[in-house]
Amino acid sequence: MDETTAEKFRASITARLAELGSADDLGAAGQATVTLDQQSVGRLSRMDALQNQAMAKASHARRTAERKRLMTALTRIDEGEFGYCEDCGDDIALPRLDLDPAATRCIDCARG
């Protein structure tokens, strides 16, 4: 992979990491501890709040996993290993990397 293409992917990955950071900032309030005071909140409202908290925590976990994959992709760019399948060593198709720059396997190895 040439340097220009690698830098394009580096910029794309960096932008996505910034988006994930913004989403984490927005989702922080949803992960806060739910108050269990029945005087101020009814039972159904409290259950709804607990469900919203669980969904916020699950979203945060997904963003954390994606962030880790993207950071690994940046490391592969730095080491000159980006764009090569970790199983067979062939090039990963550029359209596949455009969809998921953190992809580590070519489509044939990913299927098999």
Cα–chain-centroid distance for residue 37?
35
Query: pTM for the complete prediction?
Result: 0.79
Cα–chain-centroid distance for residue 9?
15
pLDDT of the residue at 42: 62
Using 50, 70 and 90 to split pLDDT, how confident is the model at 37?
Answer: low
AA letter at 43: R
Q: What is the pLDDT of residues 66-84, one digit of tens each?
A: 999 999 999 999 999 999 9
pLDDT of the residue at 31: 57
Q: What 8-state DSSP symbol labels residue 93?
A: P
User: Could you tell me the residue ranges of all domains in the chain?
Assistant: 3-82
**At a CB cut-off of 8 Å and minimum separation 6, what does 104 contact?**
72, 76, 85, 86, 92
More confident residue, 56 or 78: 78
Q: What is the pLDDT of residues 1-29, one digit of tens each?
A: 889 999 999 999 999 999 998 888 776 66
More confident residue, 111 or 46: 111
